[in-house]
Amino acid sequence: MLAPGETQETDLGVIELPADVTPGTVVETHLGEPFEVRRLRGPDLFDHLERTGAPMMPRDIGLVIGHTGVASDDRALDAGTGTGVLAAYLGRLGVEVTTYERDPEFAAVARKNMATAGVTDRVDVRTGDLTDELDTLDGGYDLLTLDTGDAAAVVEHADELLAPGGFLAVYSPFIESARECVEAARSVGLTEVETLETIQRRMDFDDRGSRPSTAGVGHTGYLVFARFLPDIG
Amino acid sequence: MLAPGETQETDLGVIELPADVTPGTVVETHLGEPFEVRRLRGPDLFDHLERTGAPMMPRDIGLVIGHTGVASDDRALDAGTGTGVLAAYLGRLGVEVTTYERDPEFAAVARKNMATAGVTDRVDVRTGDLTDELDTLDGGYDLLTLDTGDAAAVVEHADELLAPGGFLAVYSPFIESARECVEAARSVGLTEVETLETIQRRMDFDDRGSRPSTAGVGHTGYLVFARFLPDIG
Amino acid sequence: MLAPGETQETDLGVIELPADVTPGTVVETHLGEPFEVRRLRGPDLFDHLERTGAPMMPRDIGLVIGHTGVASDDRALDAGTGTGVLAAYLGRLGVEVTTYERDPEFAAVARKNMATAGVTDRVDVRTGDLTDELDTLDGGYDLLTLDTGDAAAVVEHADELLAPGGFLAVYSPFIESARECVEAARSVGLTEVETLETIQRRMDFDDRGSRPSTAGVGHTGYLVFARFLPDIG
Amino acid sequence: MLAPGETQETDLGVIELPADVTPGTVVETHLGEPFEVRRLRGPDLFDHLERTGAPMMPRDIGLVIGHTGVASDDRALDAGTGTGVLAAYLGRLGVEVTTYERDPEFAAVARKNMATAGVTDRVDVRTGDLTDELDTLDGGYDLLTLDTGDAAAVVEHADELLAPGGFLAVYSPFIESARECVEAARSVGLTEVETLETIQRRMDFDDRGSRPSTAGVGHTGYLVFARFLPDIG
């Protein structure tokens, strides 16, 4: 991957990307080998971001987006940045994301990853533990996404953090922590609380016929969703 | 649902929404009953759009977004508008959508639904069969989404329709049509062709313990994904 | 259902089953309506046994048999008889079953059900709580099957109850009780401890194509398997 | 594995199994190392039978038994013997099995495997293609199990092969052949025709919590079941 204005040596010669290059342009190396300039798209992030742990998978990122219906210009509060693919996906969709990463080195990598994804203006990676920072936040978020071991402690404040109608989405590999989040969500009056488990399989099509893949796709995480729909009056 | 400036009679009195109302405002009926003004969010579309068939479900919409990594300002070409929830979700995420619906009455409903979803500036609902309109399109789409019985006939032109790096996503309830699309995608040189089947279950948490719901969640559709990554040089 | 030698009134006349009737015989009512005498087969038990709760389903009974490889003339110890379909299936396969049912009324029904299934010589339904009866049993069972809320308390004695090489199978709707059984199995040195969750779906084939049923099949129970393979020497 | 009366050299000395040995006996090698004599149980067959292809898995064998409710002394007709684990399981349950294997070498291995499983008196492995042998069979089978590429050609005669009330079970990795069998079953008037797909996952329990295994379990085969319930009169 190369940013506009950068130069790189390759097996096929030195390539220099003009500062004003646009996607679709063909750029030749000094040896005359053509390369086409392509935009980085969402799934490319999985190849080009530096990993600081297992990133959330495209399917789970998609399910968070589908089940919460987040939209451009929404404000999202995220904890457990990790590699940052969820934050990058949301940023690329026009969502303003504030994301907390406890580990300073991971946070630094995540910031670099947001630059790679081209979303630094949309995604604010903060070093720190969201649980400790709750008092510093104004609330009114449209979406609260959590991928941390102590997510339930944040869910207990989801009613203070979310705008009316806003959604909570927790990613939890383990059933016990999913359950804790469900109980915390109910305890602060969130509604439409549900936990989903998703099994995805590839289909194989060959000359012998069609079937699900014999290579199974394993569990990633449970997704807990809930909504803040306060009564008024 | 009420647009700014509209008036409606309710069981609790007549409510009049000011033209300049903002989300979060509490508006009282003439009987003094308070109502809070809420923004319509993605999942609300399933309650408020008029249905002309079974709409694509949040999970499948999310999977299309997650697996293709579509981003704001991307251009999407869609066929089989139906109720229009996929188009509305994409529009709400800042994607420019051109969507074809063959049935004129369904297309009219879809246009009304795009107004309800607030995405008329982003989503262009065209009456017609995309298969017949291929010659009229310039191509260069970042995303091609198909939810029609004859999707394979369009997939055969996916290489002409997609920008380099762009993605195809076909929703197909039946394995035979999914397979046809896979074969068409391969025949025009698309890569990363894969068909995914997704099983989603709710988890139940009660005093006796935790378990997947005894009410199963059924099949919706296979999702065929592919990518246009042309060789150059 | 009618036993040989019995008489029954039907809408089509009175039918009298000869005492020496064999399957395949056609018997006529006094009005001349023919009925064919059929043997009761395993799946018929679900229609003809009196239920005292949700019976274990054919798939779970089959999985217990498949994963433990129980054979004719094996000895099985079972707790939580309920309707008794598992015991009846095992009895019909030539397994000698001792099964405990805590509820005296349920036990009486189960005894009647064993007569209906034709396995009274193979299945001994005892009224009582297996947890309290452990001291009265000699052990050496080839198979220990448990479908009770306190299964873990019995699993803690599985090493005393099972013959070397014998299998434990616990049916548990809830993950917490499955986990307790796994921990109990490990604590008494059982090996090959594994918990399986099974999702089964019907396929629909019609003129439009082939697909999994849109009516999902829900969760029944987790199956915990383990084996007693003592070290010697 | 050692038969009574046999002698074998091991790393721990020569072991000689008395001709009248019974399970549970401890036998010492000439170096004094103790070995306990254990009965071969169903799941042991997967370690000790010689494979001539991928054997049917315990779960699928179990599902065939559970969904058809086969019983001791039932008569089963089987085609596509392969390694013979299904035939061996059925034989160990007291079922009289006639099984056809087209490949003479595979049939010879299957016969040896039936000896290992101790079911030679119950399982008759015939070399040949069942499709060609239909005229030589009297019918009246309680169970017809098929694991062959051309299963549908046999299903077309299922009504001649099965006893009233008897069951058909076809194992098919591919959806197209499953569908062919469903159509053949319907065409000859079988009832209760259904095709099941089964997804099985292991649960992981560790200190962090409980979850389905991240190592997915892949597809094995579709199971088509049907029943012969002829009208009379």
The stretch C3-23 carries a mean pLDDT of 79
CB contact under 8 A, C165 and D41: yes
Q: Closest partner residue to A218 among D197, D214, D219, by Cβ?
A: D214
Asked if the model's pLDDT at residue D226 lies above 90, the reply is yes
Calpha distance D193→D155 (Å, rounded): 12
Q: Tell me which residues of chain A, numbers 57 to 96, contact chain B at a CB-CB cutoff of 8 Å.
A: 58-72, 89, 92-94
Please tell me the predicted confidence (pLDDT) of residue B232: 64
D106 min Cα distance to partner chain C (Å): 23
Confidence of residue D89 (pLDDT cuts 50, 70, 90): very high
D216 touches chain C (CB under 8 A): no
pTM, whole model, 2 decimals?
A: 0.91
- Predicted confidence (pLDDT) per residue in C165-188, tens digit: 999 999 999 999 999 999 999 999
Smallest Cβ distance to D199: which of A199, A211, A215?
A: A199
C-alpha to C-alpha distance for B200 and D183, rounded to whole angstroms: 29
Let me know how long chain A is.
233
For chain D, list the contacting chains (3+ Cβ pairs, <8 Å).
A, C
Judge whether A201 is closer than 8 Å to chain D, CB to CB.
yes
What is the C-alpha to C-alpha distance for residues C86 and C55, in angstroms, rounded to an integer? 8
Residue owning tokens 């015989």: C25
pLDDT in tens, B121-146: 999 999 999 999 999 999 999 999 99
* pLDDT value for D232: 64
> What does the alpha-carbon distance between residue D127 and residue D101 come to, in Å, rounded to a whole number?
5
Residue among D210, D213, D218 whose CB faces A215 most closely: D218
Name the residue among D46, D26, D22 with its Cα closest to residue D36. D26
Phi, psi for A183 (deg, rounded to 5): -65, -40
Rounded Cα distance, D65 and C89, in Å: 9
| Residue D76 scores a pLDDT above 80 | yes
Q: What is the pLDDT of residue C34?
A: 78
Q: Looking at CA atoms only, how far is residue A192 from chain B in angstroms?
A: 11
Write a three-state SS string for chain A: CCCCCCEEEECCEEEECCCCCCCCCEEECCCCCEEECCCCCHHHHHHHCCCCCCCCCHHHHHHHHHHHCCCCCCEEEEECCCCCHHHHHHHHCCCEEEEEECCHHHHHHHHHHHHHHCCCCCEEEEECCHHHHHHHCCCCEEEEEECCCCHHHHHCCHHHHEEEEEEEEEEECCHHHHHHHHHHHHHCCCEEEEEEEEEEEEEEEECCEEEECCEEECCCCEEEEEECCCCCC
The answer to whether the Cβ–Cβ distance between B212 and C220 falls below 8 Å is no
Among D36, D64, D210, the residue with its CB nearest the CB of C175 is D210
A-chain residues within 8 Å CB-CB of B26? Answer: 232-233
Mean pLDDT across the stretch A121-130? 98
Q: At residue D25, does pLDDT exceed 80?
A: no
Of C175, C209, C216, the CB nearest to B177: C209
Q: Does B214 touch chain C if contact means CB atoms closer than 8 Å? A: yes
Over the stretch A143-193, which tens digit does the pLDDT of each residue have? Answer: 999 999 999 999 999 999 999 999 999 999 999 999 999 999 999 999 999
D213: chain A residues, CB-CB within 8 Å: 218-219
Query: Which chain B residues have a beta carbon less than 8 Å from that of C174?
Result: 208-211
Q: Evaluate if residue C59 carries a pLDDT over 80.
A: yes
> Taking the CB of residue D86, how many other CB atoms lie within 10 A of it?
27
Binding-face residues of A in 96-125 toward B, CB within 8 A: none
Kindly state whether D178 is in contact with chain C, defined as any CB-CB distance less than 8 angstroms. yes
Looking at every residue in chain D, the average pLDDT score rounds to: 93
Is pLDDT of C35 > 80?
no
The highest-confidence range among B223-232, C145-154, D24-33, by mean pLDDT, is C145-154
User: How large a percentage of chain D has pLDDT more than 90?
Assistant: 77
Q: Do B42 and A70 touch (CB under 8 A)?
A: yes
Q: Find, in chain A, the residue whose alpha carbon is nearest to that of B43.
A: A69
Chain D residue numbers with beta carbons less than 8 Å from the beta carbon of C63 are 59, 62-63, 66
Q: Does D222 touch chain C (CB under 8 A)?
A: yes
Segment holding C158, helix H or strand E:
helix C158-161
With CA atoms as reference, the chain D residue closest to A206 would be D174
What percent of chain A stands above pLDDT 70? Answer: 97
pLDDT (average), residues C129-144? 96
Whole-number Å distance between alpha carbons of C90 and C78: 10
User: Cβ contacts (< 8 Å) between A143 and chain B: which residues?
Assistant: none
Tell me the per-residue pLDDT of D148-180, one tens digit each, with 9 for 90 and over: 999 999 999 999 999 999 999 999 999 999 999
Q: What is the mean pLDDT of residues D207-211?
A: 95
**Nearest Cα residue in chain A from B196:** A202
Q: Alpha-carbon distance B55 to B220, whole Å?
A: 10
